[in-house]
Amino acid sequence: MLDNKWLQQLPVQPVQQVVPVGGGDVNEAYRVQADGQTYFLLVQPHMAADFYAGDIAGLAAFAQADVLAPRVLGHGQIDGDAFLLLSYLTSGHGNQADLGRLMAHLHSFASPDGRFGFEQPYAGTSVSFSNDWVATWRELFVNQRLDKLADHIVQKGLWTEQEYAMYPLARKVITTALAHHESKPVLLHGDLWSGNCMFTADGRPALIDPAAVYGDREFDIGVTTVFGGFSADFYSAYQESLPMAAGWQQRLNFYRLYYLMVHLDKFGSGYADAVASLLQQVIAGE
């Protein structure tokens, strides 16, 4: 729990109440009452002030794209801990079709110079990605992400020899498929599981905790299918607003594979069977 000396250095005063809340597996998270307002506070102990640079840039990009998300109200370092102070969105209930239309709107926001990447790297707890600007989606997705994940997984001893041998075969299928698919760099959430979207008290859909990058929009849609939480109304509304290109069903497996490889790298062998199964599906062209 944050002590009074720490709290007195926040840019909102006086602080009346601090309540720990769920903030994912990366940050300490708190609901803060201060100066008669409610705020959301993220803290990363023993990290530099720039720890949240990616989150700040992502939320700024969402704001530019007119997507409802928390606003950045303060950030920096207090007593050696990085912090990010955000506006508080009160949760409620809404329509999944509205969320599908919101994602289609986000995916209509094109990269400013036609390249793939982002101004800040993706900083994860187990693996980070540079997000270096490149000319093709294949370079970003395969070279910068999948290959790095594969190296991490091998280094941690999380793949058997058979699974390790499957990766180059799956990689070839992915690179060939992407070479024949016209990818356009649009603004992505980057980590679109159901816990990173919400409805506000007035029923509007909103996005939180971005891992923003300009990439192929099928990436976000593929991630939504891994752990569920998105209804048929979400996908129908998205397709009506921004139809997917031919062959999208096969390509979604590339992004399911990526997301499960992230979880294998981060959480260990409990995800090994799911990754192996997807490697086999990709190789088989399913």
Verify whether residue 202 is a known catalytic residue: no
Radius of gyration of the chain from its Cα atoms, rounded to whole angstroms: 20
Tokens describing residue 166 = 């499957």
Backbone phi and psi for residue 71, each to the nearest 5 degrees, phi listed first: -100, 145
Cβ-contact 139, 185 below 8 angstroms: no
What is the distance between the alpha carbons of residues 126 and 84, in angstroms, rounded to a whole number? 21
Alpha-carbon distance 107 to 215, whole Å? 9
Work out the angle at residue 47's Cα, subtended by the Cα atoms of residues 121 and 266, and round it to the nearest 5 degrees. Answer: 60
Contact 47/75 with Cβ under 8 angstroms?
no
Are the CB atoms for 197 and 208 separated by under 8 Å? yes
Residue 112, preceding peptide bond in cis (omega within 30° of 0)? no
Location of structure tokens 């506006």 = 87
In degrees rounded to 5, what are phi and psi of residue 159? Answer: -115, 135
> How many Cα atoms sit within 13 Å of 89 on the Cβ side?
21
φ, ψ at 281 (rounded to 5°)? -65, -45
Residue 228, amino acid: G
Residue from 55, 81, 191, 216 carrying the catalytic annotation:
191
Active site residues: 191
